Amino acid sequence: MYYKYTAECVTIYFMATITIRTDKAVDEALDALTAGGKSRSDAVREAILLASRELRHARLRAEAEALRNDPDDVAASKRLAAEMDSIRAW
């Protein structure tokens, strides 16, 4: 449970609980991640957040690659760059 205090009110946040089944590989990975004293919950939360960031980055890379290979987008970028050069002050 987390508390957030403001001048007007107190907001209480509850954390959801999940249950997962682990196999030997996951148990070994959790053991490695918690060897320094980190809790299993913290290790799992960090791993989920890391996986989410990596997925978001992969999607952004794929989108950027698609735009880079889109002839219409490349042409529009070149037109915009030329227009910006023509109005540049120096």
Query: pLDDT for 43-55, tens place per residue?
Result: 999 999 999 999 9
Rounded Cα gap, residues 14 and 69, in angstroms: 45
* 7 domain residue, yes or no: no
* 58 domain residue, yes or no: yes
- By percentage, how much of the chain surpasses pLDDT 70? 88
SS3 21: coil
Domains: count for the chain: 1
Rounded Cα gap, residues 40 and 20, in angstroms: 12
Rounded Cα gap, residues 15 and 8, in angstroms: 23
Reported confidence tier of residue 2, pLDDT bands at 50, 70, 90: low
How much is the average pLDDT of 73-83?
A: 92
* 79 domain residue, yes or no: yes
* 29 domain residue, yes or no: yes
Domain with 80, as residue range(s), is 22-86
